[in-house]
Structure 1
Amino acid sequence: MAQKPTPPREALQPLTADEEAVVRALPSLIYALPRAIDAQMSREQRLSNTEYLSLMHLSEAPDRQLRMHELARAIEMSLSGTTRIVNRLESEGYIERVRCDTDGRSWHASLTDAGFTRLEEAWPTNLAATRRHFLDHLQGLDLKKLAAALRNVAT
């Protein structure tokens, strides 16, 4: 996608106070929210939020499996970071690696029945943490519009 050229300085519109507040709050949100959810997940479930998200994405995938690079993209981690997560979850019996049928060089991460059960056990904690640390602070906002705006920013 081509970048738009920067407009001339005289055409730039200063931020309003509300815009400035949003722009300044965003880095704190991006840093604090995952840490807060992760802390609650680790404390109550002995499962990191990234591990939880790995199990969740696999549970939603066809045949409960994804190629390693697809899982990495889904949990927004590097392939090497994803490999470490999968190693840990594999050692717990929650995930197994399965060689790809169509490409013998590729591996899939596959959710085991024990992994699905573990996901179901951890779900209430993740839901409570997500509500407490995020959604409860958005009461009164149009969440459809907010979701659409966040997707637009991300793309």
Structure 2
Amino acid sequence: MSGEVRWLTEAEQETWRAYMTANVEFSAYIDRQMRRDSGMPMAYYEILVRLSEADGRCLRMSELARASLSSRSRLSHAVSALEKTGWVTRRPADGDRRGWVCELTDAGYAALAAAAPGHVTAVREKLFDVLTPEQLDALRDIGRAISAGLRQECDAAAAEGCEEEPC
């Protein structure tokens, strides 16, 4: 980073803090709801969702990490825990000695189906029901703009094999 720092204005600082507070509080609320009602953290639920949406209910571990916004090391730990519950299985990828595939089991699909109503209700009540349709449209557009603004850095980190944090 070169040049002079462009410090945040008072209004920008207020926006930044409101965004960060809402993001952290909402994420913590959803994770608590998932743990309380389904016995799984939100990160595990997201893995199960991504597998349930994939062809054959399975994905390569690298694809699952990207899709679930998880680092490879964090995903590997989560998948190990999910294997112990019988909700997923892991096996070598066909035709690739180094690759691994994670597959959602019937028990995992049942756990996901049982958790989904509570999760969707929580999201609806704490996000969709408190915003106007215009705010929801703006939130979607804002999320897409932020992600697009980060895409180049995320792609570069992935190409470098950065596994500590997802992008």
Tell me, yes or no, whether TM beats 0.5. Answer: yes
Q: Does 1:129 align with 2:128?
A: no
Partner Cα separation in structure 2 for residue 30 and residue 145 of structure 1: 16
Residue 60 of structure 2: aligned partner: 67
Shift of 1:142: 4.1
Further displaced range: 89-98 or 138-147: 138-147
Shift of 1:111: 0.5
TM-score (norm 2): 0.78
Equivalenced residue count is: 148
Contact 2:128 2:136 in 1 (8 A): no
Identity of aligned residues (%): 34
Partner Cα separation in structure 1 for residue 65 and residue 94 of structure 2: 20
Residue 23 of structure 1: aligned partner: 16
Residue 91 of structure 1: aligned partner: 84
Partner Cα separation in structure 1 for residue 17 and residue 28 of structure 2: 18
**Aligned-residue RMSD, C-alpha:** 2.3
Give the greater-gyration-radius structure (CA): 1
The 5 A counterparts of 1:5-84 are: 15=9, 17=11, 19-84=12-77
Q: Does 1:115 align with 2:108?
A: yes
Shift of 1:69: 1.6
Residue 149 of structure 1: aligned partner: 142
Q: Does 1:139 align with 2:136?
A: no
User: What residue identity is the alignment partner of 1:115?
Assistant: G
Further displaced range: 20-29 or 34-43: 20-29
- Unpaired runs of at least 5, structure 2: 149-167
Partner Cα separation in structure 2 for residue 116 and residue 140 of structure 1: 32
Partner Cα separation in structure 1 for residue 68 and residue 23 of structure 2: 15
- Unpaired runs of at least 5, structure 1: none
Partner Cα separation in structure 1 for residue 10 and residue 134 of structure 2: 19
Partner Cα separation in structure 2 for residue 62 and residue 136 of structure 1: 32
Partner Cα separation in structure 1 for residue 17 and residue 98 of structure 2: 45
Contact 2:31 2:41 in 1 (8 A): yes
Q: Deviations over 1:71-100 (max 9, x none)?
A: 112222211111111011111111000211
TM-score (norm 1): 0.83
